[in-house]
Amino acid sequence: MRILHTSDWHLGRSLLGKRRSAEFSQLLNWMLQCIEQQQIEVLIIAGDIFDTTTPSVTAQDQYYNFLAAAAAKSCCRHIVVIGGNHDSASFLNAPGAILKNLNVHVVGQACENIRDEVLLLDNHQGEVGLVLAAVPFLSDRDIRRYESLASLSDKDQQVVAAYHQHYEEVARHAKKLADKHQVPMVATGHLFMTGGLTSEGDGVRDLYVGTLGQLKSDLFSPDFNYVALGHIHQPQKVGGLNHIRYSGSPLPMCFDECERSKQVLVVDFNQEHQAEVTAVEVPTFQRLHRIRGDLKSLQSAIEELKRQNESIWLEVSYQSDELQSNLRAVLTEQIKDSQIEILKLNNQQRQAVHLQATDTLESLEELSVDDVFKRLLDRQNIPDNQRPELLMTYQETLHRLHHDQE
């Protein structure tokens, strides 16, 4: 059965305060066309369907309208949705029984009976064509319990061991079914694998503090013919293996991603059930662009962009020894009556000249939560040898806050 692997839609996400609902609508319409053109039989959405656990009405409408339209496609037999760390598992699971009538299979969180995560997907002949281990994001409550007085390293080892145990149990059950029906077996996951490439500002959270270098490709049974992963926004292979892949987000989540192509992955299987993966590039629906330089260079670049007569969201970095106190006003006046919008302006010269005022010139949107905590450590003159443990404790506290809020 031909699979379309995608993930990390983050419906409802904005960019520096700019709403992107029109962009998401264009993406989903394109996805429907892709399903038809590629004759996709199984669509996998590997987590982070929404950007928050309480998605807006618009984001919900886009999601459900897409599922209904995709399920109506004659070629698409099954849609498999797994929960990501940004999603509310209970929200995803709530309409599960209704969606199942449309052959939409939702696994928002780890199941009490691990066999419920293993799906038998039938083909157009009514025969089992694929065994799919639909493993979602595994939260703290799914895979471990904190022990009082346990060290951070002990907790890390518990997480890694729990991950392996979960995937081993799922693989064992899936293997029996795959052998019985003589079909490929596929797994999903929403996690951070060692060596994964991310971008600053893409919104990817560390899922488990301290374990990021320990989850490796040996987590997955060699019996899995393909592993469809979500969480990291850059498309990539895990450990150089062709059959363990991140599809990446279909839209750029930050300006760091604006020059990288986005893609979804089409997966076929040969007679030996080996995965053959083809990347399909996602069109650009809203252009993001970066320009850097002194005032003259910036103005020249903007004039060139204006001649292109298209909607462009800009990140501008002013780089010069000359002080430009009214830089934003000058550039705003230049883009008047054009389709260009400046979403972010970095006045690097001003930050260098007024070093003491750095904190007041940085906005919270430009800082991660870790950056804010590090600023506090600096102000309190915390010794360097105490910082790593304080930072890890802070990150773990944040992680518990994110994942215990439901």
Matching residue, tokens 């394109």: 30
User: What domains does the chain contain, in order, with CATH numbers?
Assistant: 3-281 (3.60.21.10), 287-349 (3.30.160.720), 362-404 (no CATH)
Interval 230-244: pLDDT, tens: 999 999 999 889 999
The answer for residues whose C-beta is within 8 angstroms of residue 66's C-beta and 6 or more apart is 28, 31, 32
Query: What is the pLDDT at residue 323?
Result: 81
Length of the chain: 406
Tokens of 95: 């309409």
**Inter-CA distances, 103 with 37, 91, 98, 253, Å:** 20, 18, 9, 30
Task: With cut-offs at 50, 70 and 90, classify the pLDDT of residue 213.
Answer: very low
Residue 194 has pLDDT above 50, yes or no: yes
**Inter-CA distances, 377 with 201, 226, 354, 400, Å:** 22, 44, 21, 21
How confident is the model over 7-32, as a mean pLDDT?
A: 95
**3-state DSSP assignment of residue 12:** coil
Interval 312-324: pLDDT, tens: 999 999 998 888 7
Residue 207 has pLDDT above 70, yes or no: no
Q: 323 and 353 in contact (C-beta within 8 Å)?
A: yes
| Mean residue pLDDT across the chain | 87
Residue 61 has pLDDT above 90, yes or no: yes
Q: What percent of the chain has pLDDT over 70?
A: 85
Task: With cut-offs at 50, 70 and 90, classify the pLDDT of residue 124.
Answer: very high
Query: What is the pLDDT at residue 360?
Result: 47
Residue 205 has pLDDT above 60, yes or no: no
Query: What is the pLDDT at residue 215?
Result: 84
Lowest mean pLDDT, pick from 66-80, 278-292, 333-347, 368-382? 368-382
